């Protein structure tokens, strides 16, 4: 009976020694890994802040491009409307609607006078 208790005690002692050795080895590995994380932490933070700045720059560039395209779209649509009005006026000037052509010419002259007065002021 004492041999059985002695055998179980020795087995438990061997198991506890193996567990303790495994914990010591894993603790050393964790310390090394922690040191690597600490040394690379600053580099990671610098990289992430650089990436953040890059994303902000790209975002502002895209917004500026969108605003530029919208501005050009408005500008070209205004030019298109002006051209359409001019061609309609030219059609009236060449057709039999001479009185309407005179009215359009007066309207264009008035518009030019208003634009010139805005440019002077």
> Residue 115 has which token pair?
């634009």
Would you state the pLDDT for residue 119? 63
Specify the number of domains making up the chain: 1
Q: How do residues 89-100 score in pLDDT, each as one tens digit?
A: 777 666 666 666
3-state helix, strand, coil in the chain (%, to 5): 95, 0, 5
Tens digit of each residue's pLDDT (9 = 90 or more) over 24-80: 999 999 999 999 888 888 888 888 898 999 999 999 999 999 999 999 888 888 888
Phi, psi of 96 (to 5 degrees): -80, 0
For 74, the domain range is: 2-120
Question: What does each C-alpha distance from 26 to 12, 34, 47 come to in angstroms?
Answer: 21, 12, 30
pLDDT at residue 103 greater than cutoff 90: no
């Amino acid at each position: 009976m004492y041999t059985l208790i002695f055998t179980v005690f020795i087995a438990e002692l061997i198991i506890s020694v193996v567990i303790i050795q495994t914990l010591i080895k894993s603790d050393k590995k964790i310390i090394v890994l922690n040191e690597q994380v600490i040394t690379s932490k600053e580099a990671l933070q610098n990289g992430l802040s650089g990436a953040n700045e890059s994303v902000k720059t790209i975002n502002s560039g895209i917004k500026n491009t969108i605003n530029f395209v919208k501005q050009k779209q408005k500008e070209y649509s205004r030019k298109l409307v002006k051209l359409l009005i001019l061609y309609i006026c030219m059609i009236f000037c060449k057709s039999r609607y001479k009185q309407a052509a005179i009215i359009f010419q007066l309207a264009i002259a008035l518009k030019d006078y208003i634009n010139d007065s805005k440019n002077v002021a």
